[in-house]
Chains A and B, each alone.
Chain A
Amino acid sequence: MNRILIVHLKRFGDLISAGQTISAIKAKHPHSEVSLLCFEEFSSVARLIPGLKKTYTISRNTLLTLSNGKLYNTGFALEELRLRLMPLIESPWDKIVNLTNDLASAHLCSWISCHDLNVSIEGVCVDEYGLAVSSNSWASVFNDVLPQAGLNSPFNFRDVWAKMLDLSDQGIAPLLTNPRNEETVNRNFQSLRRGGIKVIGIQATCPIEDKGLGAELVARLAEEISTDGHRPVLLIAPNESEREFASQILEQIEYQPIVVESDFTALSSVVRNLDLLITPDTVTKHFADAHGTACVEISLGSSPVFKQATMNPKSVLLSAKDRDFSQVSVDDILSAVTFCLNNGKTGLELAQQATAYRPVKIADTTAYQVIGGSYNQDDEFNRHATSALILKMNQNDDEFVNDYALLAIKAATSAKSFTNWIEQTKEQSALTMKDVLHAIRALLQMSENPRKSAEFIESLDRLFANTEYLLPANVAVHFFKSKVECLPPSSFQQNTKSIEELLFKLKSDLQHTMNLLSQWHTLWTESKF
């Protein structure tokens, strides 16, 4: 019997997503007992994750109030945390899986492992020197590389978890539902479906203001969907502000859509029984992905788009220029709805400011293929090339390089744009290679004469200056930097030797980048664009 503790100190949406990974762990280790540690504030969705032995919680709000409030002695906060965590060290664990990439979770995992030296940690922890240590190279992608990716992430974080934990097939693992809710929702939605009518849920609100759609747009959307012969259903949470928002929507339209008010447990049944969901909210999107319900995800504002976008190949991800919702029109959303309802067999017509993507599966990961609208071609090329390179560098796997190349080639609107990007990236890679060679030379000089360490440090600084963004030309430097930062304190000779090995690995990885660009250029030439 394997006893596994999952550490997840993030919010609702990520926790639902973690539920899918937990199900995959259970599938891989059917006789294991899997428990979860999460924040109490988000634990209401943990109840919907199937197969959990136990859920442990930390109340972040209580800790913050007791430690920040002037009224209270901070000792009470320490006691609160200690008492919450004591059960974790009283239980024996075989493995701790850290699905969070922050220092709190890393110290937590190390704290537990200090009490039980036999426990293994997957993900990040902190070693005795205070350095963050990743369990494998995919853990490093999760902890060091993805946070640098900004809006153009090469991987969805759930795919990276799967790689980190060697989970090959995640499939769909539905969240739990309440049988009574399930029966009621199913019966009601079936009664709406007569004559081929589809039931389309619209997540009316979004807790983060710049990600929301606005009452006017939702009202028009509901009206147009009903005009198309389908049944729009407005989804709201059971609170006064969302009821108020729903009534603002209803005031603006003649057709009165059904308003479904549901907590997370009921939402699980509602989303499961929809034919399609339209949502700007990542939490509801994660529900849809968990149940395999197709969705039109509208990713705006501060959402980190591809890092946490829908992974369902039946869904469409809709984004907009400058991530501004005013750039996404009702017509764009309706076009995506029609596209999804027809399983991608109809065309997609979008206004110039919107972009649509479809999730496609490559190498057990999700890539996002642009399928309509306007977009920055270099962003598309960079994302697909970075994904291919990370796969190559982490698992020496170039079987899928051509699949990514094909996605990039499909995104190219002209021969010039693609070949220009290849030339530009080659030049950037050559400059990075020059910095690497300079660092190797400075290191060799330093090993002969330690007084030349300043030149070597300067050469490292120059290399690290290449990691401000994540691009194909510097992805190898990101890995190098992450490994250098984790080197434990050691003798001068040992440190020099370790860095030398890492620099030669970096040189080899950069060579992969050059090779990939040449390979893509050949593919492009052969593609007869």
Chain B
Amino acid sequence: MAIDKTICTPLNFLSPIEVKLSKANTPVPVVDGIHLHSIYNPSKEAVGLIGKYEESLKNQNKILVLGLGFGYHVWQLESLLGRLQKNWEIVVIEPDIRMHEAFNKHAPVEFSNRTRIVSANSISEFYDDINLVKFMAAKPLLVPHAASFNLREDFFKSFMSFNASNELSDVVSKVHDVNLRNYLLSLGEPTDDFNLAIAKGKPGVKLAHQDHFINLFKELTSGAR
């Protein structure tokens, strides 16, 4: 299956990010006239937003937050997790790198080192990040920040429905071992489907260590797409 090129398109958000002060004297980002946090009291608003996840957070210690804004909700999430979990980890997905920069500049809240903000230039670049991929593979609890999500709805929908390329060359690009890479590339054309290529194998050739490794992989992941 060919990769959808739109996912490689650079994320280019043009509308300026304004910063206003809330009644509580804390900064609030505003994009296209949309306030990403309460203009009255962002911290209080965050308590309400995050409070509804309390039950779920008792059983989940990995959280994927969709949208950074100025991070009041993330800060509240950290506070709640600190009470409910011994170990926890938060990853915040923010498509607009400028928002990330504005957050760093105004620093309305400070995150613990267990929270990581991830921005990238394209959707596929997000999924090139092995740490993010492993975090997502652990099936974290999804916490969308409604204002940020609505503002970048197209991005977040594309992000969550991403379809990774299964072409042999794309799969091989993630393999670090040169011998394994060469072996895999010898199984077919670069544009061949990876699963079909390994299913076909190398007929008539005696099995060597790379064949055993790939057969082991096939057996452990049987039912793969």
- Residues on A lying within 8 angstroms of B by beta carbon are 58, 60, 62-82, 85, 102-104, 107-108, 110-111, 114-115, 126-130
Contact = CB atoms under 8 A, between A and B. Distances in A.
B139 A104 contact: no
Given A71-B133, A79-B176, 7 more contacts: A65-B137, A73-B128, A77-B221, A78-B217, A80-B134, A107-B216, A108-B216
Contacts of B118: none
B212 A110 contact: yes
B212 A78 contact: no
Interface string B175-192: 111001000000000000
Contacts of A110: 207, 212
A76 B133 contact: yes
A70 B225 contact: yes
Interface string B89-129: 00000000000000000000000000000000000000110
A69 B220 CA distance: 14
B22 interface: no
Contact of A68 (B134, B209, B216, B223): B223
4 closest Cβ contacts across the A-B interface? A75-B174, A114-B209, A104-B219, A111-B212
Interface string B199-213: 000000011110011
Given A70-B162, A78-B175, A79-B176, A107 B215 contact: yes
Contact of B163 (A62, A70, A126): A70
A247 to B, nearest CB: 18
A67 B133 CA distance: 12
A183 to B, nearest CB: 25
A72 B220 contact: no
B170 interface: yes
Contacts of A128: 206-208
Given A65-B139, A110-B212, A81 B170 contact: no
Contacts of B166: 74
B220 A58 contact: yes
A62 B133 CA distance: 10
Given A66-B133, A79-B175, A102 B207 contact: no
Interface string B134-163: 101111000000000000000000000011
B220 A73 contact: no
Given A65-B137, A78-B180, A126-B215, A73 B221 contact: no
A382 to B, nearest CB: 33
Contact of A72 (B127, B177, B180, B213): B127
Given A58-B220, A114-B208, A115-B209, A75 B175 contact: yes
B206 A68 contact: no
A14 to B, nearest CB: 17
A158 to B, nearest CB: 24
Contacts of B176: 79, 82
A128 B209 CA distance: 9
8 contacts: A62-B138, A73-B173, A74-B164, A80-B134, A107-B219, A108-B212, A108-B216, A126-B207
Secondary structure at the A interface, as helix, strand, loop or mixed, is helix
Nearest to B208: A114
Contact of B180 (A80, A82, A115, A129): A82
Contacts of A103: 215, 219
Interface residues of B, number: 40
Contacts of A62: 134, 137-138
A75 B223 contact: no
Interface string B51-70: 00000000000000000000
A7 to B, nearest CB: 11
Interface in B25-84: none
B171 interface: yes
B171 A74 contact: yes
B224 to A, nearest CB: 5
B174 A68 contact: no
A79 B221 CA distance: 13
B177 A82 contact: yes
B14 interface: no
A115 B209 CA distance: 7
Contacts of B195: 74
Given A72-B133, A103-B215, A104-B220, A130 B207 contact: yes
B207 A127 contact: yes
Contact of B212 (A65, A73, A126): A126
**Residue of B128, B171, B217 with most partner-chain A CB within 10 A:** B217
**Residue of B130, B139, B162, B172 with most partner-chain A CB within 10 A:** B130
Contacts of A71: 127, 133, 136, 162-164
B220 A63 contact: yes
Contacts of A129: 206-207
Nearest to B165: A73
A146 to B, nearest CB: 19
B216 A104 contact: yes
B213 A67 contact: no
B137 A69 contact: yes
Nearest to B177: A82
A69 B160 CA distance: 11
Nearest to A85: B213
A75 B207 contact: no
A69 B162 CA distance: 10
A237 to B, nearest CB: 14
A58 B221 CA distance: 12
B213 A82 contact: yes
A107 B208 CA distance: 10
A114 B213 CA distance: 10
A74 B216 contact: no
A114 B194 CA distance: 24
A75 B172 contact: yes
B171 A75 contact: yes
Interface in B4-22: none
**Residue of B130, B164, B209, B220 with most partner-chain A CB within 10 A:** B220
A30 B55 CA distance: 51
Nearest to B209: A114
Given A76-B130, A110-B207, A60 B220 contact: yes
Contacts of A85: 213
A78 B219 contact: no
Contacts of B175: 75, 78-79, 82
**Residue of B128, B136, B215 with most partner-chain A CB within 10 A:** B215
Nearest to A78: B175
A80 B176 CA distance: 11
Given A79-B175, A110-B207, A114-B212, A72 B217 contact: no
Contacts of B209: 111, 114-115
Given A104-B219, A126-B207, A127-B207, A73 B177 contact: no
A82 B220 CA distance: 13
Contacts of B163: 70-71
A118 to B, nearest CB: 15
